[in-house]
Structure formats: structure tokens, C-alpha cells
Amino acid sequence: MEHTKNLKEKLFRKKQNGWEMNIDKEEIQNFSKEYISFLNKAKTERECVKEFTKILDENGFQNIKNKENLKAGDKIYYINRQKNIYAAVIGQEDLKNGFNIIGAHIDSPRLDLKPNPLYESEDLALFKTHYYGGIKKYQWVNIPLSMHGVIVTKDNQKIEINIGEKDDEPIFTIADLLPHLSKQQDKKKLEEAISGEDLNILVGSIPYETDEEISEKVKLNILNILNKKYGIVERDFVSSEIEFTPAMKAKSLGFDQSLVAGYGQDDRVCAYTSIRALLNVNNPKKTAICLLADKEEIGSMGNTGMSSRTFEYFINEILNKTIGNKPGLLDEIFQNTKVLSADVTGAYNPNYPSTYEKNNESYIGYGISIIKYTGSASKGGASDANAEYVGYIRNLFEKNNIAYQNSEMGKIGIGGGGTIAYILADKGTDVIDCGVPVLSMHSPYEITSKFDIYNAYKAYEVFYKDE
Ligand code: MN
Ligand code: MN
């Protein structure tokens, strides 16, 4: 009998809840506390860049623009238009042998303002929004929203805005229809019940005080308040990037405080852990790079998205300031480079068992997820890591006691998704998706496991340091 049990132990894929492993629970809780505090400070890509720059500055990293030459051990970063950032620790080995790169993204689904957002209807002032990323619209009504971003005025002043996060500041919300009058709305399909044009944010209701007979006095009052506070006029919204995000605070979840609930954990959970891991990298053999992209949620386009040549520019700058550059060197480096595309995946949700194929899902609390390929039913659009590279990654994790799981996301044909992986694969690197499983992904309140978060941090550290 005992013999058979041993045989099973030897042959079966091991599945173990992370909390039952030999772990330091206090360290996991402490790390999560710092992560939660970060989530509450950085809700947009711009706020992430700011927060990460601060962390990097405090830990001996310097802006590459201020360095004439670079040598092994140097720690540098590059900020691209305040919305995406790359950080690197220069390795001792010849740079042409390739880098160890971890790439995550710092944009998250949200509600952006339209260029002409403000209007008045029956003495209420509202903002028109244009949602960003894949959201289930019904989740975004009747929740507290905060306002973040920048407005550029006609004399090119950049006004930074952040309202609704502090306890003494007002919040905003979208008013949904009451159930008493929802008979028609209730009959609609979930995805049609609330349309993009219904996502109008309530921002005020007091008319401007005047004896004159004028129209739109509530809108005027709001513009007057904004003008007094920020010096802006209505036209200035044209040159703005204003994002409304959930105003709820990120918090510990559960009686056992094992989970984190918070907005924007896709993909800030991987961004934060990959930056934190880079702080532990000193004098590596291979040059270690953490890249944090913008625009992943809408296809990675644009000059701050992963498809931009700005990343190549950063690598070229490193080459110019170390061994000197030459034609073809960048391509040679990419051929020899290993990448983790650090992005979250959907965790098994016990409320919807029929959505999942239980043998091939990611589970909350079982460690970091390795996703060989993403894509959809036909594997269309998938970035598919080759077996050799998957082998390298799993052996690296097993050697270093990293808890990992391998998964797809949901049953075949039920949906799908993508990450920045294929863009880095296109450059010629070896790349695989590897991130934290998330419940309620893309909702205003996403859920992760503190074990998985800490485990991702450890996984990313061993990857950067691998020779
Ligand atoms: Mn993501
Ligand atoms: Mn996403």
C-alpha cells in the first residue's frame, strides 16, 4: 500500500495550497501591507510612474539621461512621457549575450473623459466618459469614483488633478436606474443594459448665483469652481487626460486576511512585485530590466505602449553608454534575451464552475501562474512559448522553491485574452506569460492572494538573477 502511495507521489503533478507550505506568514503580510499602500497611492499609469520613480530614486537608481557612461552594477531608469518607465541593473557579462527582462503594464481599465465632457441636464452637471479597456459596464455605476490626471491650459501649464482619494474630499458617481423603473432595462442583455453613453458621471447641482437670466447655471457654477481652483476654462479639457477610477481603498480581504481587494491589480500586482524584485538585484551577471508599459488594455499601441520603438531606444542608450553600439547588435541581444511577460490571469471562480476546465486553471493561493500560450479558441493571436523555454522557466522555479502553476484561462472558446508577450516575442526574445491569478479581473475591485503576490516577488527575483 505504502509503495503505491510513494509511486503516486513520484509520478503525479504536485498541487499544494501555498499557505500549507513552509512559509514565513508574517513576511507575506508585511510585504502585502506595503503593496496595499502602493495601490492606494498609484491608481493611474502616471501615478505609477511617479511612485516607482520615487522608489527607484530611494534605492540608488539614476535617470539614464544624467549618466554619460555606464558600467556593470549601475542602476538606471528611463521615463517615457510620464506614462511608462524602464529600469535596469547593468550586468557584468558581455551585453550581447542578452538580458533578463520582466515586462508588466501599469494602465488599467477605467473611465476616461471625452474631449468635451461637461454638460447640464435638468439642473444636474455631468461628465461624458469614454471607457478605457474591457469593462463590464454595469459594474461601474453606483460606486464611488475619483478623478485623476492632467489638464494642459492654453499657456501650456500642466495642472495635475487628484480628487476623491482623501477622506475629506468629495467623490463622484454614475447614477443607475432604480429597480422600480427598471422593467425595460432588466430585460436587456447584461452587456446592453448599460451603454457606453450611459456612463455619465454626476459632478454637481448648485446653480451659479446671479440675478441675470442665463441658461446652464449649474454647468457655469462647476466651471467657475474649477477655474478658481485650477485656473482652467472649458476648452482646456480638449488638452487633458482625465481618468475616473474607483475611489474605494485597497484592503485586506477575509477573516484570515489572506487576500487583497483593490482596483487596478491588473497589472499593478505584477508591476509592483517586478520593481520590488529588481531592487534586490546587485551586480548581476546578466543585465536585468524591468519594463512597465502603458496602453496594454487597449492593444499596446501608441508611443507609451509596448509596440513603441521607445523600448529599443532605451536599450540603444544602454549600449551607447556601455560597450558601444553597432548595426545588428540590438537584434543579436534580443535573440539571446529571456523575458517574463508579467501579467495577471483569471483565477478559478467558485461562483461560476461551468466556465472552467478544472485541470487547467489558475487557483488563488497556489502560486504564480505560467501561461504557455494565451489567445482564443483556435489559439488565434496567441504568443506561444516553446517547450525549451517553458522547461527552462519551470526548472528555474523548481530549483528555487517557487510555487507555480500552469494554466490556460477558462474552457476553450469561452473567451480569451492577450498580453504584451507577443510584442517582445516579435523582437526575437524568448518570452512567456507569468503572473498572479486574479478574481473579478477588470472589475472595480479585483482580488488576489497575498501568498501569490509574495511568491511572484520571489519568482521575479530569481529570474532577474539567473545566469
Ligand atoms: Mn493585464
Ligand atoms: Mn487586463
Q: Is residue 411 part of a domain?
A: yes
**Near ion ligand 2, which residues have CB within 5 Å?**
266
In order of 42, 276, 310, the CA distances from 54 in angstroms are 12, 12, 22
Q: Give distance in angstroms: CA of 346 to centre of ligand 2.
A: 10
Question: Quick one: 86 and 119 in the same domain?
Answer: no
Q: Is 10 among the domain residues?
A: no
Over residues 130-147, mean pLDDT? 98
Last residue of a domain, one of 197, 220, 246: 246
- Based on the fold, state whether residues 335 and 414 are members of the same structural domain: yes
- Is residue 375 in some structural domain? yes
In this structure, is residue 251 part of a structural domain?
no
Rounded to the nearest angstrom, the distance between the alpha carbon of 334 and the centre of ligand 1 is 23
Q: Average pLDDT, whole number, for the chain?
A: 97
Mark whether 233 and 282 lie in a shared domain: no
The pLDDT confidence band at residue 442, using thresholds 50, 70 and 90, is very high
Alpha carbon distance 244, 161 (integer Å): 11
In a domain, residue 256? The reply is: no
For the ranges 187-196, 275-284, 371-380, 417-426, which has the lowest average pLDDT? Answer: 371-380
| pLDDT score at 274 | 98
Same domain, 154 and 182: yes
Claim to verify: residue 402 and residue 279 sit in the same structural domain: yes
70 and 190 inside one domain? no
Tell me which of 188, 213, 246 is where a domain ends. 246
Tell me how far the alpha carbon of residue 396 lies from the centroid of ligand 1, in angstroms. 24
40 vs 414, residue with greater confidence: 40
Residues 164 and 188 in one domain: yes
pLDDT at 2 over 80: no
User: How far does residue 187's CA lie from ligand 2's centre (Å)?
Assistant: 29
Let me know if residue 348 belongs to a domain. yes
Q: Is the whole model's pTM more than 0.95, yes or no? A: yes
Ligand nearest to the CA of 110: 2
Number of domains making up the chain: 2
Mean pLDDT, range 217-236, rounded to an integer? 97
Distance of CA 343 from the midpoint of ligand 1 (Å): 5
* Mean pLDDT to the nearest integer, 153-174: 97
Provide the CATH number for the domain around residue 118.
2.30.250.10
Claim to verify: residue 230 and residue 157 sit in the same structural domain:
yes
Give the model's pLDDT for residue 415. Answer: 85
> Are 370 and 405 contacting, i.e. CB atoms less than 8 angstroms apart?
yes
Cell 505609477, residue located:
48
Distance 265 CA to ligand 1 centre (A): 9
Predicted confidence (pLDDT) per residue in 194-223, tens digit = 999 999 999 999 999 999 999 999 999 999
Q: How far is the CA of 106 from the centre of ligand 2 (A)?
A: 10
- The rounded Å distance from CA 98 to ligand 2 centre is 28
pLDDT > 90 in the chain, percent: 95
Whether residues 302 and 448 share a domain: the answer is: yes
Residue 369: inside a domain, yes or no? yes
The CATH code of the domain that includes 292 is 3.40.630.10
Average pLDDT over residues 100-117: 98
Q: How far is the CA of 2 from the centre of ligand 2 (A)?
A: 46
For residues 129 and 199, the answer to whether their CB atoms sit within 8 Å is yes
For the stretch 299-352, pLDDT in tens is: 999 999 999 999 999 999 999 999 999 999 999 999 999 999 999 999 999 999
pLDDT value of residue 418: 87
pLDDT in tens, 426-438: 999 999 999 999 9
Shared domain for 309 and 423, answered yes or no, is: yes
Q: Which ligand is nearest to the CA of 371?
A: 1
CA of 369 to the centre of ligand 1 (A): 13
Nearest ligand to residue 297 Cα: 2
Does position 249 have pLDDT exceeding 80, yes or no?
Answer: yes
Cα–ligand 1 centroid distance for 214 (angstroms): 48
The pLDDT assigned to 375 comes to 79
CA 97 – ligand 2 centroid, Å: 32
Distance 129 CA to ligand 1 centre (A): 22
Q: How far is the CA of 132 from the centre of ligand 2 (A)?
A: 11
Check whether residue 220 and residue 319 sit in a common domain.
no
pLDDT digits over 385-431, tens only? 999 999 999 999 999 999 999 999 999 988 888 899 999 999 999 99
Among the bound ligands, name the one nearest to the CA of residue 435.
1
| Band of pLDDT at residue 381, cut at 50, 70 and 90 | confident
Rounded to the nearest angstrom, the distance between the alpha carbon of 105 and the centre of ligand 1 is: 7
Distance from residue 338's CA to the centre of ligand 2 (Å): 23
| Ligand nearest to C-alpha 442 | 2
Same domain as 209, residue 127: yes
Distance from residue 331's CA to the centre of ligand 2 (Å): 29
pLDDT of amino acid 1: 62
From ligand 1's centre to the CA of 273, what distance in Å? 14
Note down the domain range covering 387: 16-108+263-465
Q: Is residue 204 within 8 Å of 176, Cβ to Cβ?
A: no
Asked if residue 253 belongs to a domain, the reply is no
